[in-house]
Amino acid sequence: MKQILRASLVMFMCLTVITGVLYPLLVTGIGNSLFPAQVAGSLIKKQGVVIGSALIGQDFHSPHYFWGRPSATSPYPNNAAASAGSN
């Protein structure tokens, strides 16, 4: 019984380190080297101050895109400054 418990705990710790530490660091490192702006959040800066992200509030009009949910950021549709939960 002790051998099984010890083996289970060792395997648990090994998998935790691999999947919880090593893999995320590897994927983040690869992403940072290949796509640095996207990994950082596609931030928009104005006079050195982050004012938002280029990915929030995109308005798509072409028919080949999926139909998005209606924007709840009135008075302006797809207002990234008002990005928060609306329910």
Peptide bond into 75 cis (omega under 30): yes
The ranges assigned to domains in the chain are 2-77
pLDDT greater at residue 54 or residue 2:
2
Percent of the chain having pLDDT more than 70? 67
Highest mean pLDDT among 30-34, 42-46, 72-76: 30-34
Tell me the C-alpha distance between 75 and 40, whole Å.
29
Residue 33, amino acid = S
Tell me the C-alpha distance between 31 and 39, whole Å.
6
Tell me the C-alpha distance between 14 and 43, whole Å.
36
pLDDT in tens, 19-38: 999 999 999 999 999 998 88
